[in-house]
Amino acid sequence: MKKILITGGAGFIGSHVVRLFLQKYPEYDIVNLDKLTYAGNLENLQDVESNPRYTFCKGDIVDERFVVNLFEEHQFDGVVHLAAESHVDRSISNPTEFIKTNVIGTINLLNAARNSWKDNFEDKVFYHISTDEVYGSLGKEGFFVEDTPYDPRSPYSSSKASSDHLVRAYFHTYGMPVKISNCSNNYGSHQFPEKLIPLMIHNIKQKKPLPVYGEGLNIRDWLWVNDHARAIDVIFHNGKLGETYNIGGNNEWTNIDLVKLLCRTMDKKLKREQGESEKLITYVKDRAGHDMRYAIDATKIKNELGWEPSITFEVGLEQTVEWYLKNEDWLENVTSGEYQKYYEKQYK
Ligand code: NAD
Ligand code: TYD
């Protein structure tokens, strides 16, 4: 048996990774460490709760003592580190929280892993999950490759860049067995509805205004969350130590075209007249320092590890819409309370 720590497993991507690892690796015990912030939700993992190889542990990666004790207690063989503050708009209103969790939290995990492995790193892996946003903002041309210079421009991407640098520093300085991946925007089930796609689905359903920032011409490269989880699996098991892998969907959309596609899909699913939901589109004040375009060149992971996205965007998006429509209770539970306050402040 191997014991694997997954941090942030109650969040959007983490819950898909926990589920995949439990299903695919009967020889793994999985410990999910999560603080359960507004974005962490144990409902995301209800189906695996009773699995004897799964343990949930509520805790804060910023709490150094707690993290050290957890590593002493469990003697992990590997770490997949996803816990983070992850929403750019929240990082603009509260940057310090992002430095605490994303930077201090990451160094606490690195130190605890190093300490528990006593500098004997054979068969150990510390895998840090990051974002393409660390590379900055592209113009019309070009793609992010693994050695694109870092140029983060939001407090969120700066905190992720900082943690990426620390993880690499531990490889060079202490020989820690690290891996890093930088992924484009994810979509799929269980995503907190503050991010573009679930927010728009939620609002279309409720016939609420669809807040498009600026002119809606910013471009993102969208990847189905299950395909990201598959890439994480491949990198964790077969990626080279000390290396970085870019993960992307080769699937660029302007925000406005994406929102219109969602409107058409939802009109069909909800049996509304075509064009009805598009009327809800409302252009609002642009995000401060809004990055224009992200686009990933995922050639390295394809050539070296044989990973590619498994489904088209149209199919993935339709399945995603269906999931949110079917799981009204989930949406209601996560949108009560704290989220309502956030929504009112953000879009007042
Ligand atoms: P999320 O916000 O849905 O989940 C984050 C999880 O981390 C939550 O369960 C939360 O409770 C937990 N967490 C937050 N602070 C914590 C702390 N101090 N201690 C312990 N747990 C804490 O985020 P996500 O979208 O699932 O992203 C997961 C990771 O993937 C992040 O590192 C993010 O930077 C990265 N990433 C996300 C995307 C994307 O499109 N969502 C793309 C590329 C990379
Ligand atoms: P988001 O889902 O926050 O991801 P990120 O900023 O990390 O890429 O936003 C995706 C894009 O959608 C981004 O260009 C900002 C834009 N956006 C809106 O136009 N309206 C919204 O209400 C939100 C949340 C995002």
CATH T-level topology, domain 2-191+222-252+292-311: Rossmann fold (3.40.50)
Give the torsion through C-alpha atoms of 137, 139, 145, 150, to 10 deg. -30
Catalytic residue among 29, 60, 133, 146: 133
Report the mean per-residue pLDDT for the chain: 96
pLDDT of residue 12: 98
Give the C-alpha separation, 236 to 178, whole Å: 10
Catalytic site residue 286? no
Name the least confident of 244-253, 304-313, 339-348: 339-348
- The mean pLDDT of 236-259, rounded to a whole number, is 98
pLDDT of residue 333: 86
The mean pLDDT of 11-31, rounded to a whole number, is 98
Residue range 130-140, pLDDT digits in tens = 999 999 999 99
Q: Which atom of ligand 1 is nearest to the CA of 195?
A: 41
The residue whose CB lies within 8 Å of the most ligand 2 atoms, and thus the one to mutate among 90, 153, 158, 195, is 195
pLDDT of 285 over the 90 cut: yes
- Provide residues with CB under 6 Å of ligand 1: 8, 10-14, 34-37, 39-40, 60-62, 82-86, 101, 105, 129, 131, 160, 183, 185-186, 192
Euclidean distance between CA atoms 52 and 154, whole angstroms: 41
Residue 153 makes CB contacts below 8 A (sequence gap 6+) with 136, 137, 289, 291
Mean pLDDT of 111-129: 96
Using CA atoms, how far apart are residues 266 and 253, in angstroms rounded to an integer?
18
Give the tokens for residue 248. 């992307």
C-alpha distances in Å from residue 179, one per residue of 1, 70, 226, 261, 342: 22, 22, 20, 36, 34
Q: How many CB atoms lie within 10 A of CB 87?
A: 18
Residue 132: active-site member = yes
Over pLDDT 90: what percentage of the chain? 94
- Is the predicted pLDDT of residue 346 greater than 90, yes or no? no
Q: What is the pLDDT of residue 339?
A: 67
- Ligand 2 atom closest to the Cα of residue 197 is 2
Specify the pLDDT at position 312.
95
Give the pLDDT confidence score for residue 125 in this predicted structure: 98
Amino acid at 195: K
CA dihedral 342, 255, 325, 86 (to 10 degrees): -40
Tokens of residue 134, six digits = 């660390």
Q: Is the pLDDT of residue 97 over 70?
A: yes
Q: What is the phi/psi pair of residue 252, to 5°? A: -95, 135
Tell me the pLDDT band of 340, cut-offs 50, 70 and 90: confident
Q: How far is the CA of 219 from the centre of ligand 2 (A)?
A: 10
**242 vs 105: CA distance, rounded Å:** 20
Mutate to test the pocket of ligand 2, among 213, 253, 285, 344 (most ligand atoms within 8 A of CB): 213
Distance of CA 128 to the CA centre of its chain: 12
> Is the confidence at residue 342, as pLDDT, over 80?
no
User: SS3 for the chain, per residue?
Assistant: CEEEEEECCCCHHHHHHHHHHHHHCCCEEEEEEECCCCCCCHHHHHHHCCCCCEEEEECCCCCHHHHHHHHHHHCCCEEEECCCCCCHHHHHHCHHHHHHHHHHHHHHHHHHHHHHHCCCCCCCEEEEEEEHHHHCCECCCCCECCCCCCCCCCHHHHHHHHHHHHHHHHHHHHCCCEEEEEECEEECCCCCCCCHHHHHHHHHHHCCCEEEECCCCCEEEEEEHHHHHHHHHHHHHHCCCCCEEEECCCCEEEHHHHHHHHHHHHHHHCCCCCCCHHHHEEEECCCCCCCCECCECCHHHHHHHCCCCCCCHHHHHHHHHHHHHHCHHHHHHHCCCHHHHHHHHHCC
Identify the pLDDT of residue 233.
98
Q: Identify which of 120, 126, 124 has the alpha carbon closest to the alpha carbon of residue 108.
A: 126
Extents of the domains making up the chain: 2-191+222-252+292-311
Range 258-277 average pLDDT: 97
Interval between CA 82 and ligand 1 midpoint (Å): 5
- The pLDDT score that the predictor gives to residue 263 is 98
